[in-house]
A and B are shown apart, each in its own frame.
Chain A
Amino acid sequence: MWFKKSNFLTLAILILLVFFSMRLTEFDLSKFKDFRNMIDFLSQWFPMDFSLLPNMVQDTLETLAMAFLGSVFGLIIALPISFLAARNTSPSPILFQFSRIALSFVRSIPEIVFGLILLTTLGLGPFPAVIAIMFHNIGVFGKLISELIEAADPGPQEAMKAVGSKTWVANLFSILPQIWPNVLSQFFYRFEVAIRTSLILGFIGGGGIGQRLFNDFKTFQYSSVSLDVLIIMIMVIIIDFLASSIRKRII
C-alpha cells in the first residue's frame, strides 16, 4: 500500500552505494576495540594549560578577522558581478555567459587549494588565507545573489524604467531592496562557514587559532590542545548564536 516497486529499486541502489562506500573508506566498527588508546590519549589533554590563554585569544581574534574580511570582500566584489550573471539584469549575453563561467570556475576551486597556491607568493600568515576565502566566497555569493536577482519581482523594475531611469539604476533600485534581507542572511551563513575554513587554512600555515592548534598538536602540547579546542568550540557557538539572532531580526 505504501511502497511502489520503484521504491525497492531505490532501496537496493542505496544499499549498494552504502556497501561500496564502506569498502572504500575501510569502514569497520570492530576497529573500536582499541579505543583504550583514545582514552589514554585524551587523558593527556588534562589538566588544561592556561598559561598561553592571552596568545590563544589573540589568535582567535585573528581567525575571526580572517573569516570576516574574506566574506565581506567576497560579498562586495560579488554584488556587481551578480548583476552581470543574472539573466534579467545582464547587459549582454556574452557578459552573462562569461561571468557565469568565471563564477563557477572560482567556486570550483577549494579554499585550501587557493591557500596553497597563494602561500608561494604571499608567504605564510593570515593574508593569503583571507584572499583564499575571499575568492571562494566571490564564487558562492555570485551564484546565490544572481539567483536571488533572477527571482526578484520584475514589476518595480518596469516601473523604474517607465519613469525614465537609466537601466542599471532601475535594476539596482528595484532589485536590491527586494533581495537585501536574503543577501545578509547568506552573508552571515557564509561568515560561519568561513570561520571553519580559516581553521583548516591554519593547518597549512594560514595563522590564527587553527595554526596554533595544529602546532600544539604536532609538538605534543596536549594540555594546550585541549584549551585550543575549547576556545574554538566557544567561539563557534557564540558566532552561531549571534549570526542566527541577527538573521532572525532581518527577516
Chain B
Amino acid sequence: MIEIKNLSVLYAGNTEESLSDVNLSLQKGDFICVLGKSGAGKSTFIRCINGLQKPTGGEILLDGKTITYAKEEDLRKIRREMGMIFQHFNLIPRLSVLQNVMTGTFGYRNSFKNLFGMFTAEELKRARSVIAEVGLAEMATRRIENLSGGQKQRVGIARALVQQPRVLLGDEPVASLDPGTSDRIFTLLKEMHERLGLLTIINVHDIELAKRYATRIVALKDGKVIFDGLPKDFKEAEYQETYESQSADAYFGAEI
C-alpha cells in the first residue's frame, strides 16, 4: 500500500541526516509500532508519510503513485485519507468535542462550506457515531478544556476516524498519558484498526505496549532502520541496539 524508497531527510543547518536511506513496504492490515530513542527520526518518519515533512531524498508511493512530489491540491486529497493523532492532541481550544471532530471532515468540502459549518445530516450522524465509538457519547457538546488527557486523545482519534481514513498515523499518541490510559488508548486503536482494516503506524516509547499490540515493529536509530520484523523477534539484543547509545559507550570508554 505504501512504498518508501531511499527516504532521507536532512534538516537545514544539520550535518547528520535525521532519516537516512529508509526503505520499507507497508501493507494494509499492518499495525506498525516505530521504536527508537528521542531524536532517532521516528517523528520525522511519520510526518513524511502524510507530507507534513518534505523529504530531501527518495520518495514515498501510495498505491504506486508518488506523494512526495504531489501538488498542494493532490496532497490534500492524500492527507484526507490519512488520519493522524498527536502527542499533545492538537485539538482546537474553546471548541466542543463535536466541533473538533467535524474539523476532521474539512478535506472533503470546499472552504465556504467549512467556514459556515454547512455539514450534511449524514456527516453529523457519522461524527456522532464515531464519538460514541470512542466512548465520549455524553460529552459531545463539552468544551475540549474540560476533558482529561485520555479523553482528549479519544477526541483526536475520533477526528482521525471521521475522515474515513485508510491509514492511521500516530506521533507519540500516548507519551503524555499515564500507563493505564495509554493501554486503553492502544486497545481502542487496535480495535478500530481491525474493524476498519487500516494500515496503522504509531511511534511509541513504551516497548511493552509495542510488543503487546503491534503486528510489526520497526526500530530506528540515527535515522536508519535497524530492525523490521515481528514483535516476537524483537529481543534483548535488538532492544540494546535500539536504546543503548553508542556515543555514550564511546564516552564512558574514553573515560575509563
Residue numbers of A with Cβ under 8 A of B are 155-156, 158-166, 168-170, 172-174, 177-178, 180
Q: Taking the complex as formed, is B42 at the interface, i.e. its CB lies under 8 A from any CB of chain A?
A: no
| A163 engages B92 (CB within 8 Å) | no
Interface residues of B in 79-101 (CB under 8 A from A): 79-84, 86, 88-95
| Smallest beta-carbon distance A187→chain B, Å | 17
| B93 engages A156 (CB within 8 Å) | yes
Q: Taking the complex as formed, is B76 at the interface, i.e. its CB lies under 8 A from any CB of chain A?
A: yes
| B86 engages A165 (CB within 8 Å) | no
Among candidates B82, B88, B104, B115, residue contacting A155 with C-beta atoms closer than 8 Å:
B88
Q: Using Cβ atoms and an 8 Å threshold, which residues of chain B touch A155?
A: 86, 88-90
Chosen A-B contacts, 22 in total, with CB atoms closer than 8 Å, are A155-B88, A155-B90, A156-B92, A158-B86, A160-B92, A161-B79, A162-B50, A162-B52, A162-B84, A163-B80, A163-B83, A163-B104, A163-B106, A163-B163, A164-B81, A164-B106, A165-B114, A168-B111, A169-B111, A172-B115, A177-B93, A178-B93
Answer whether A156 and B90 are a contact pair too, CB < 8 Å, given A163-B104, A169-B115. yes
Interface residues of B in 59-83 (CB under 8 A from A): 76-83
Range of interface residues on chain B?
20 to 34
Among candidates A156, A164, A166, A177, residue contacting B111 with C-beta atoms closer than 8 Å:
A166
Interface residues of B in 221-236 (CB under 8 A from A): none
| Smallest beta-carbon distance A245→chain B, Å | 20
| B79 engages A174 (CB within 8 Å) | no
Answer whether A156 and B107 are a contact pair too, CB < 8 Å, given A162-B82, A163-B80, A164-B79. no
Q: Which residue of A lies closest to B108 (CB)?
A: A164
Q: Using Cβ atoms and an 8 Å threshold, which residues of chain A touch B79?
A: 161-164
Among candidates B76, B83, B91, residue contacting A165 with C-beta atoms closer than 8 Å:
B76
Q: Using Cβ atoms and an 8 Å threshold, which residues of chain B touch A161?
A: 52, 79
Across chains A and B, the number of contacting residue pairs, with CB separation under 8 Å, is 77
Q: CA A190 – CA B52 in complex, angstroms?
A: 38
| Smallest beta-carbon distance B32→chain A, Å | 18
Q: Using Cβ atoms and an 8 Å threshold, which residues of chain A touch B92?
A: 156, 160, 173-174, 177-178
Q: Using Cβ atoms and an 8 Å threshold, which residues of chain B touch A160?
A: 92, 103, 106
Q: Using Cβ atoms and an 8 Å threshold, which residues of chain B touch A172?
A: 115
| A165 engages B106 (CB within 8 Å) | yes
Q: Taking the complex as formed, is B159 at the interface, i.e. its CB lies under 8 A from any CB of chain A?
A: yes
Please encode chain B, from 226 to 256, with 1 for each CB lying within 8 Å of some chain A CB and 0 for all others.
0000000000000000000000000000000
| A165 engages B94 (CB within 8 Å) | no
Please provide the 5 A-B residue pairs with the shortest distance between their CB atoms, ordered closest to farther: A164-B107, A164-B80, A159-B90, A155-B90, A164-B79
| A165 engages B103 (CB within 8 Å) | yes
Q: CA A160 – CA B90 in complex, angstroms?
A: 9
Q: Using Cβ atoms and an 8 Å threshold, which residues of chain B touch A170?
A: 106
| Smallest beta-carbon distance A126→chain B, Å | 34
Q: Given contact pairs A163-B104, A164-B79, A170-B106, enumerate 17 new A-B contacts (beta carbons under 8 Å).
A: A156-B91, A156-B92, A158-B52, A158-B90, A159-B86, A159-B156, A160-B103, A160-B106, A163-B80, A163-B84, A164-B80, A165-B76, A166-B106, A169-B115, A173-B92, A178-B93, A180-B94
Q: Using Cβ atoms and an 8 Å threshold, which residues of chain A touch B114?
A: 165, 169, 173
| Smallest beta-carbon distance B255→chain A, Å | 40
| Smallest beta-carbon distance B130→chain A, Å | 13
Q: Using Cβ atoms and an 8 Å threshold, which residues of chain A touch B169?
A: 162
Among candidates B89, B93, B107, B115, residue contacting A163 with C-beta atoms closer than 8 Å:
B107
Q: Using Cβ atoms and an 8 Å threshold, which residues of chain B touch A166?
A: 76, 106, 111
| Smallest beta-carbon distance B74→chain A, Å | 10
Q: CA A161 – CA B159 in complex, angstroms?
A: 13
Q: Which residue of B lies closest to A174 (CB)?
A: B92
Q: CA A170 – CA B159 in complex, angstroms?
A: 14
Q: CA A92 – CA B157 in complex, angstroms?
A: 33
Q: CA A195 – CA B137 in complex, angstroms?
A: 48
Q: Using Cβ atoms and an 8 Å threshold, which residues of chain B touch A173?
A: 92, 103, 106, 114
